[in-house]
Structure 1
Amino acid sequence: MTETETVPADPGNRAADAAIHVEEVSKRYGTRQALDGVSLQVGRGEFFGLLGPNGAGKTTLVEIMEGLRQTDSGTVSVLGTAPWPRNVALLPRLGVQTQSSAFFVRQKAHEHLATVAALYGADRGAVDRTLQTVALVDQRDTRVENLSGGQRQRLAIASALVHEPELIFLDEPTAALDPQARRDLWDVLHGLKEAGRTIVYTTHHLDEAEALCDRVAILVEGRIAALDSPRGLVGAAGAATSLLLPPERMTVAEAEAIPGVDRAVLRGGSLVLETQVSGKVLSALDALGGLDGVQTRTATLEDVYLRLTSDAGHRTTQNTENTENQA
């Protein structure tokens, strides 16, 4: 897939008014090119996702945006100013939640948040408002060390929000959470989105990126492989629709003989028919015996992501083999 980028006509997405503007940013560590000419823009009020496999450059890019690292080349503007050299005046305007957030574990939840709020000079009412936002009011008097994993994650987000920053960086906030805790945290994230917060969000969970993000950038080997809305990326990919049938319904050969079926395979206890013309194939299946038990699975952001990252892995393997053959 070629890189695609859809920038809405909203004036908040023009470079002069963007929350973040990154232009041709590169960064190298020794012989490894962590970022290679990355350009992107995050509009004010946008929920922007950064996706990519480990080592793709996500952390380096976020740390450059936060002012923790210097670029080798290229320019970065955050809320209209340069984050590097370390811009102390910018810090109160940013909220940062990391995977390994530090806590005052012997304090109660509200005490911990009050300490953080005091560091930023936030008003007294900010603590209670933020506990309400992240649904931790019932745990306000619980020691941090006794909070569950999901509750700690919410407290980490609260620590990034308590001073009411203009721009929030969330680094895999649902990592290591059980499914219920992850869904509970989604409610918090939906609330932040509805409140119009500008959020840069990294995650390995493609379903939540698809559900939460206005746009996503997929980084592969230090470059942006794709940038668009989740729906735009899926549509541009032209990925096939899968129709799942009970395996006793017909053989693989019979399924592949249906006009419009590109491929049929037995997978996960179902007969899976892949097609670009699902309506036509569904009509044929209906005529052959009805649609009872037939399930439709449309393409998702995960399909696009896996195609992009697997293509990159294939190129890396080929390059390695070519190098070894030349040696």
Structure 2
Amino acid sequence: MTVFGDGTAQAGYRFPKSGCLPGSICIMAGGLCLLILVSIISLFQGIIQVPVSVAGEALLHFDPGSMQHLVIREVRLPRMLASLLTGAALAVAGALMQGITRNPMADSGLLGLNAGAAFALSLCFTFYPGISPVFIMLSSFLGAAVSAGLVYGIAALPRGGATPMRLVLAGAAVSAGLTALGQGMAIYFGVARDILFWLTGGVAGVSWQQLHILVPWIGIALLAAIMLARSVSLLSLGTEVARGLGLRSGLVSLGVTLVVLILAGASVAMIGPVSFIGLIVPHLCRYLLGGDYRIIIPASAVLGSLILVVADIGVRILNPDFEIPIGALTALLGVPFFLYLVRQQRRAV
């Protein structure tokens, strides 16, 4: 057996079937072009109509005395960047989880990470209202980690271990419990109005300060995910197969878990618990591009950003006077897809 220098594959091994390379490149290029287009559209859509020419002037020749320029620079540009980053982060987190667990229903929201991070932030807002953004981010990471530990622990208790269905059920139970606790605290301590919109997920209140803190974390985690993509492709074949091919599966799983916690925790800290992006996007990418995670992960980043930017435009158009939380819109799209996956799982059993 010949092992490559990175210790992840042997001579003659073929990665999971991928789509045609020229076709994959065309799909990725088309997705990037569409993402650029909808990102530009998001700058001048909203309750205050801003012409395209004025939006360009606000970016290139900013005038702090112009209300329209301020709307573009201080409100719409940060929320557009937040949609891009968190959409990519949530989609890549879902792809990584589905790859290492071989669970088609794995998602940071369904497995409790979003609820754990949200609960930790509810504690911060309730008992430490003046806490700094850095500690808010760290609390979000800690909450996601504790929630993940609870989910895996509960799912592994029965005989047979943590099966995909048990993980989903445990994740649903832990998510429901933590969400109820967080909302109960908010109501009891009189801060429900302050955090309710955030708990349902939204990019309306994103500031440049949040972006400056969280962009490096998300950027580094996305790069780490791309570097781990080859190993995730091997793990998606099964732990025993991956070990036989020379992969240190335990070390890779630990690295992937850390990356997922950073991506999910940073996303929740920025825009709140938005579910189903990480569930839907990897399935679409596998359908279009095949099973190689070296392609799925960057494609998931592009498609996740695209979906969340479009969703943000949608909530502004549907009800301009009072925006629908973006988490509610993604849930409307995600629940039917989740039910379809559950039905497919039952047929497979």
TM-score of the superposed pair, with normalisation by structure 1: 0.28
Q: Which has the larger radius of gyration?
A: 1
TM-score of the superposed pair, with normalisation by structure 2: 0.27
Higher relative contact order (CA 8 A, sep 6+): 2
| Structure with the higher helix share, 1 or 2 | 2
